[in-house]
């Protein structure tokens, strides 16, 4: 039976994007379950960001700690001889340490950078939804605001890709930013774009040409936009899982593909279709769904004190 696509609500009491209320009950999101995957690279990145922040703050503290010391001196009543004496006797290294702690603040540097990257990603996804709704002749409203250079660069990459695939008739968008779920995987998620595409638009290599037995033949693809520095395994798992959900709902066939499209946001990071567009073939999708099933079991076994599931 074919399922009508719609946007599923988040489950009551759940953080946005963590659980969906599906017709079959509450299911955790695909990205929620992917959080169970090892994050060695993310840990190294976070440590690198914190180290860089401390070095930067230490340089500032070294230059300004005498100003900080004078500020403390002025905060003590001039007739409080004991406090003034203790202030003068306070070792410089302790002054430096106290000021360094104050400058570092309570927020972690890598979390600020992560949150900013998430905001950029949301802006790019909002624009992509607006753009493809416009292509499909659906109501759109005003274009989303792009208030950072990074978001503007990612949108430029998206439009470069749209031009490369010659939007119509080679790529025909069918739906954007709608929800699907799987009862066998017990998960749900929101895909970025469902379209069908011709082999020449996809830029398929010879090993993939069997998917398009006749010239101009078309195949369904579930696309996922990413603004990361590369295309990673967990992103492929995510795309393959969305494809599985779509097949289970009777919306596409086993012949369909998933794809990750990286939209570079860094200065000088130029969009390259050969590097930044990764089509996932049916056999690879099946293998990646096996990986997702394993992550699902790991996710279920996590103690609740590891964080909200």
Give 307's pLDDT tier (boundaries 50, 70, 90): very low
Q: How many whole angstroms separate alpha carbon 51 and alpha carbon 109?
A: 9
Q: How many whole angstroms separate alpha carbon 291 and alpha carbon 131?
A: 33
Q: Determine which of 14-18, 27-31, 89-93, 251-255 has the lowest per-residue pLDDT on average.
A: 89-93
Mean pLDDT taken over the chain: 83
Residue 25 three-state SS: strand
Per residue in 77-136, pLDDT (tens digit) is 777 777 777 666 665 666 677 777 777 777 787 777 777 777 888 999 999 999 999 989
pTM above 0.85, yes or no: no
pLDDT at 211: 64
- Which sign does the torsion angle of CA 9, 159, 223, 273 carry? negative
Phi, psi angle pair for 241, to nearest 5°: -70, -40
Domains and their CATH numbers in the chain:
19-37+146-306 (3.90.320), 42-106 (no CATH)
Tokens of 66: 């005498």
Could you tell me which residues come within 8 angstroms of residue 250 by beta carbon, excluding any fewer than 6 positions away?
Answer: 1, 2, 3
Q: Determine which of 141-145, 202-206, 262-266, 299-303 has the lowest per-residue pLDDT on average.
A: 202-206
Per residue in 167-221, pLDDT (tens digit) is 666 889 999 999 999 999 999 999 999 999 887 776 665 456 566 655 557 889 9
Identify the top-confidence range among 85-89, 263-267, 301-305.
263-267
């Amino acid at each position: 039976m074919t399922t009508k696509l719609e946007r599923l609500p988040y489950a009551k009491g759940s953080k946005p994007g963590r659980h969906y209320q599906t017709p079959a009950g509450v299911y955790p999101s695909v990205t929620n379950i992917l959080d169970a995957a090892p994050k060695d690279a993310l840990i190294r990145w976070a440590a690198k960001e914190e180290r860089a922040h401390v070095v930067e703050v230490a340089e500032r503290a070294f230059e300004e700690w005498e100003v900080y010391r004078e500020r403390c001196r002025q905060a003590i009543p001039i007739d409080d001889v004991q406090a003034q004496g203790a202030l003068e006797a306070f070792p410089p290294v302790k002054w430096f340490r106290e000021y360094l702690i104050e400058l570092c603040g309570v927020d972690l540097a890598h979390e600020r950078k992560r949150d900013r990257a998430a905001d950029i990603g949301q802006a790019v996804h909002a624009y992509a939804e607006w753009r493809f709704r416009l292509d499909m002749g659906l109501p759109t409203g005003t274009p989303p605001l792009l208030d950072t250079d990074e978001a503007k660069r990612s949108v430029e990459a998206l439009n470069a890709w749209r031009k490369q695939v010659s939007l119509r008739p080679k790529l025909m968008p069918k739906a954007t930013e709608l929800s699907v779920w799987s009862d066998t995987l017990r998960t749900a998620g929101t895909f970025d774009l469902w379209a069908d595409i011709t082999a020449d638009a996809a830029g398929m290599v010879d090993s993939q040409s069997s998917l398009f037995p006749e010239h101009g033949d078309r195949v369904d693809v579930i696309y996922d936009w990413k603004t990361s520095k590369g295309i990673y395994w967990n992103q492929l798992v995510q795309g393959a899982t969305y494809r599985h959900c779509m097949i289970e709902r009777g919306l596409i066939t086993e012949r369909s593909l998933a794809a990750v499209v990286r939209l570079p946001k860094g200065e000088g990071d130029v969009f390259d279709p050969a590097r930044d567009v990764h089509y996932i073939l049916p056999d690879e999708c099946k293998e990646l769904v096996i990986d997702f099933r394993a992550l699902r079991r790991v996710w279920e076994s996590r103690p609740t004190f590891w964080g909200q599931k």
